[in-house]
Amino acid sequence: MLKLLCCELAKLRRRPLFFAAAASSGLIPLGCALFLPEFHTFSSGAEAVDSMMSALFQMSACLLLMPALVVLASSLFFTEHDQDTLKNILTIPVSKPALAMAKLILLLLFAIAFMAAGGLINLGILLASGWTPDGFGRLFLVGLGLGILIWAGALPCILLAAALSRSYIISVITAFFYTAVNYILSMNDHFLTQPFGLNAGTLFPGPMAFRWYYQYLDLTSPQLTGLLERIGPYFLNTAQTFLAAGAEAAVFLLLIALVFQNQDT
């Protein structure tokens, strides 16, 4: 699998789409630093860290990383068909499920690296602005965890893109629609106030991720008190979150492998 993974990495050379997706990890942190007025009015380093990381979680992870993963997945999967390289790989032989797994693991690493890069850019901005990055370490780790959750959450959409069509356009449309739906659900009280179990609030990646990472942010701000009162009892602990995401990922990994296996060579 390591060999396959290295080969998947090697295939990304000179792929502008991949580098554009990677570069977008710095978009939100830099945008916040440059354009958000409250960035210059923080009262402490902890508040600055919290605000910057919150923006990273809500915008970078949920709005950029999710579609980036689906579009990259489409590109990784379709390339083998479009360039007719699959026959070369299969006659080595490498099985289709193993190839699919290598691609999905690469995407997992990308998701983690994306969040790590965003976090480190935030740290750089904070230090350059003279703030002491209090509490950064914990939120950095939450960011990495969020990367994993977003990756697991993108799998159903990757399955859809792989199963429905080999068209990039349809994949992009599907990715943005799925991202928008998840973002809306993560803003909706109905989905945020469901107990842990087999329900949309747990199974959809948007609300599930929100109910996990939100508890790690500073919730003392007066305007967030009402929200905290409503959703606080429904926060998911790390074990619950990663158990649900892991189970979903296992199912969708299997389905993606099956779909890829049964597609024409």
The residue ranges that bind other proteins (CB under 8 A) are 3-4, 6-7, 10-11, 13-15, 79, 83-95, 265
* Residue 16 beta carbon to other proteins: minimum distance, rounded to whole angstroms: 9
CB-nearer residue toward other proteins: 96 or 211: 96
Residue from 149, 128, 113 nearest 45 by CA: 128
Task: Estimate the crossing angle of helix 96-128 against helix 238-262, to 10 degrees.
Answer: 140
* Residue 6 beta carbon to other proteins: minimum distance, rounded to whole angstroms: 7
* Residue 22 beta carbon to other proteins: minimum distance, rounded to whole angstroms: 15
Residue from 87, 65, 83, 64 nearest 75 by CA: 83
| Dist. CA 149–CA 218, nearest whole Å | 21
CB-nearer residue toward other proteins: 73 or 123: 73
Return the number of other C-beta atoms located less than 10 Å from residue 157's C-beta. Answer: 27
CB-nearer residue toward other proteins: 83 or 132: 83
CB-nearer residue toward other proteins: 131 or 260: 260
Whether the CA torsion 49, 51, 53, 54 is positive or negative: it is positive
* Residue 91 beta carbon to other proteins: minimum distance, rounded to whole angstroms: 5
| Dist. CA 257–CA 102, nearest whole Å | 11
* Residue 261 beta carbon to other proteins: minimum distance, rounded to whole angstroms: 12
Residue from 54, 87, 105, 74 nearest 216 by CA: 54
CB-nearer residue toward other proteins: 94 or 144: 94
| Dist. CA 6–CA 173, nearest whole Å | 30
